[in-house]
Amino acid sequence: MKISFSPEDEAFREEAARWLADNLTGEFDKLRFRGGPGDEHSFIDERRAWEKRLAAGGWVGVGWAKEDGGRGATISRQVIFAEEYARAGGPGRLGHIGEGLAGPTIAAFGTAEQKARYLPPILRGEALWCQGYSEPAAGSDLAAVATRARLGNDGQWRISGQKVWTSLAHLADWCFVLARTDPASSGHHGLGFFLVAMDQPGVTVRPIEQITGSSEFNEVFFDEAVAADLLGQPGEGWKIAMALLGFERGVSTLGQQMQFRGELDEIIRVAKDNGAAQDPDIRSRIAEAQMGLTVMRYNALRMLGGDAEETRAALVYKLHWASWHRNLGKLAMDVLGEAAELCDTAPYGLTRLQSLFLFTRADTLYGGSNQIQRNLIAERGLGMPKEPKGR
């Protein structure tokens, strides 16, 4: 896909860049380039306030339809905002799961009453969401979900089970939960897509401390927790869950790449400052990283194109960026040299590049491991048959 920018688009770019420059000041100045992967625990209160500042400026729901309260921005303008936000050093979004996943899914599958209840708080920067998909025995194989939903005599659905690796569950107001409505079902059949309030009896959140020393991931236990709403009908959970994953691979990928661009720029800066850039091997690896990032951008643009190449582009995207980002973390450590092994402060004062290296160890695992991604490419992209079980 070739995205070209009209004079009106460039005016929009100037508007976005100017607003970000004017607002990432004062109390928000310290948030620049903070709160990303491996740094999610930083400045929580300030980033909550930032969500509301974005909302007040009309920068939440930029790509949502106008009838849902958004700006109705074109793909090109959504790309522009994602790039300008990252270029300005906008902090990691606490509301991104609500804006990028829950909101579009509710808009696509919700009733008028559900849209009226759930969409406005997201657009105001008030309601934070988390994603209840992965389970101890249902990670890459999401169809193995075992969390149960039971319909009581009072007409309410009650959720019981465990979710894991749930980002920002300790901060979230709501969770969308994939649960089994038919206890006799298996695989992608008999699932429901539920909207569950986190602040209620029967919901327990336990943080998972990571190798970075932070704990933005959590275990979430549901013990007869009451679901506020069922999105769609019982049995439609898989269809809705897959549609949501389609939203996940949208314009936000361009913003992710701008974050990667910032990380690579920091590595280049350090390499110049400490002399590592004089090493031919380091220079070659920096060039390789630059080429990989360029390929990533064009692949993401193909994903947004809506043409025949879109599906295959989406299949390879996660495998590509996860492997690339893991290698970038290794490059960061080699550029730092001996300094990579030292913390700035006790007990665990990691630098940006140290956190980058440690966090990228997980990139090739979460969201579908590299091995799973290769299977998906073979089966869905190349049409190869599944390997028989037991081999």
| Single-letter amino acid, residue 84 | E
Predicted confidence (pLDDT) per residue in 174-205, tens digit: 999 999 999 999 999 999 999 999 999 999 99
DSSP-assigned beta bridge partners for residue 161:
222
Q: Is the peptide bond before 347 cis (omega within 30 degrees of 0)?
A: yes
Q: Model-level pTM?
A: 0.87
Higher pLDDT, 313 or 359: 359
Predicted confidence (pLDDT) at residue 41 exceeds the cutoff of 70: yes
- Residue 122's nearest CA partner among 176, 178, 78 is 176
Which residue is listed with tokens 């609500």? Answer: 98
pLDDT digits (tens, 9 = 90+) for 113-165: 999 999 999 999 999 999 999 999 887 678 899 999 999 999 999 999 999 99
d(CA 195, CA 157): 10
How much is the pLDDT for 299? 82
Query: In this predicted structure, what is the pLDDT of residue 346?
Result: 66
Asked if 251 and 101 count as a contact pair (C-beta separation under 8 A), the reply is: no
Active site residues: 248
Taking the C-alpha atoms of residue 68 and residue 72, their distance in angstroms, rounded to an integer, is 9
pLDDT at residue 67, rounded to an integer: 96
Percent over 70 (pLDDT), the chain:
93
Using alpha carbons, list the distances in angstroms from residue 130 to 51, 86, 137, 314, 391: 16, 22, 19, 23, 37
As a whole number of angstroms, the distance between CA 96 and CA 25 comes to: 21
User: If we measure between CA atoms, which residue out of 371, 343, 325 comes closest to residue 37?
Assistant: 325
Signed CA dihedral, 67, 48, 246, 162: sign only = negative
Nearest 5°: the CA angle 7, 11, 16 is 145
- Rounded mean pLDDT of 372-381? 84
CA distance 14 to 6: 13
Q: Worst-scoring range by mean pLDDT, 2-11, 35-44, 84-93, 382-391? A: 382-391
Q: Helix, strand, or coil here: 330?
A: helix
Amino acid of residue 17:
A
The 10s digit of each residue's pLDDT in 234-290 is: 999 999 998 887 776 666 677 788 788 889 999 999 999 999 999 999 999 999 999
How does strand 191-197 pair with strand 217-231? antiparallel
For the chain, domains (ranges, CATH) are 7-94 (no CATH), 129-235 (2.40.110.10), 249-381 (1.20.140.10)
The label of the residue with tokens 């920091």 reads: 266
Could you give the CA distance from residue 237 to residue 243 in angstroms, rounded to a whole number? 10
What letter does residue 135 receive in the DSSP assignment? Answer: B
Average pLDDT value for the chain? 90
Q: Beta strands 174-180 and 129-132: pairing type?
A: parallel
pLDDT above 90 (res 108): yes
